[in-house]
Amino acid sequence: MPPPPAPVPPPAPAPASPRPLTLFSGQWADLPLDILASKAKSWGYDGLELACWGDHFHVQQALREPAYCQGRHALLAKHGLKTWAISNHLVGQAICDEIDARHQSILQAHVWGQQTASSTAASPVIDAESVRRRAAQELIDTARAAKLLGVPVVNGFTGSSIWSKLYFFPPTTPADIKKGYDDFAHRFGPILDAFQDQGIKFALEVHPSEIAYDIHTARAALAAVGNHPAFGFNFDPSHLFWQFVDPVAFLRAFPDRIFHTHIKDCARTLDGSTSILASHLPFGDHRRGWDFRSPGRGQVDFQAIIRELNRIEYAGPLSVEWEDAGMDREAGAMEAARFVRRLDFLPSAIAFDAAFEKR
């Protein structure tokens, strides 16, 4: 009888990523941080990008309790994790937005405040300017909390007073749009000064509904705040891809302003009846013209992105922001960690054709 075939050796473990691999905790805020940290470690992550909601990171508690930040680090370290950034998207959204009742669902009670009941309407009268002012103070406080935690970057949103004017009808003038950027500069100028005082960077996630959602609006936002050194971007290719903006072109446009990077995938499913405006259909509806996908299961060219991140010498985290309405999230988060481990690579230290030279 022929000898039995030799057993196939198990695959070699994936090498550690050149950059830290983190999981953004924002979409997992229903889980206590201790439970999420345990899961993230088992899935293969190096750390968490802590969201400032759920019980993951409390800004005011960090400012009030001297041991709080040390306790966050200790909790993460118990699971072999670290943190390199925190995120406060929800409060940032309220700074430049036209405030309405929807914002109450994303804001903490002390930021939303006590609204006054109207004697003529069933819904409360919203003191929008007070909400914006408290949101701005909360973001300034987030910079102070980030310094105490020892992380260099706060990711977030800005909101926008002109997003609703995206389609220029009724007729919208250049002065109308300039007013929106002036409003952004007026509100964020003091915030960015406070960030700079703390030695912290604010990274806007370029995103529809924000003051910057593509390359041209990102340039306009930078110009509005005088290229403030504390203002840059949380690069997320998924929000560019569905708009038909090349994510690599964005990196090339702002090589010194990429303060943080999200790994999130996206797929366009335009079939002649669908639209990139998504038709007022919820995420996960098959009739949408685009939707988010787990990393590696969409259409974003992540290899080209890694090459460009190497070219601009980005050394910060690759943070998985996991959103896929059609996939189990725990299986997806584990798969995403493996995908990024395989994806990330360092640039070559020597040109391959240098080996041809005679020595």
Q: What is the pLDDT of residues 292-326, one digit of tens each?
A: 999 999 999 999 999 999 999 999 999 999 999 99
Q: Is 7 within a domain? A: no
CATH number of the domain residue 193 falls in: 3.20.20.150
Residue 49 belongs to domain spanning: 21-346
3-state secondary structure of 12: coil
Put simply, whether the predicted model's pTM sits higher than 0.85 gets the answer yes
Instruction: Give the mean pLDDT of 99-109.
Output: 95
Q: Structural domain tally of the chain?
A: 1
Q: Is 326 within a domain? A: yes
pLDDT tens, residue by residue, 257-283: 999 999 999 999 999 999 999 999 999
Q: Are the C-beta atoms of residues 248 and 309 closer than 8 Å to each other?
A: no
In whole angstroms, give the CA distance from residue 143 to residue 231: 12
pLDDT tens, residue by residue, 223-264: 999 999 999 999 999 999 999 999 999 999 999 999 999 999
What is the CA 41 to chain-centroid distance, rounded? 21
Mean of all residue pLDDT scores within the chain: 93
Q: Is 253 within a domain? A: yes
Residue type, 171: P
Q: Name the DSSP class of 344.
A: -
Q: Is 109 within a domain? A: yes
In whole angstroms, give the CA distance from residue 283 to residue 291: 6
Q: Is 337 within a domain? A: yes
Exposure string of 71-108, with b = 16+ CB inside 10 Å and e = fewer, is ebeebbeebebebbbbbbbbbbbbbbbebeeebbeebb
Q: Is 351 within a domain? A: no
Q: Is 317 within a domain? A: yes
Name the pLDDT band for 14 (thresholds 50, 70, 90).
Answer: very low
Q: Is 357 within a domain? A: no
**What is the length of the chain?**
359
Alpha-carbon distance values, 212 to 27, 70, 264, 303 (Å): 22, 35, 18, 25
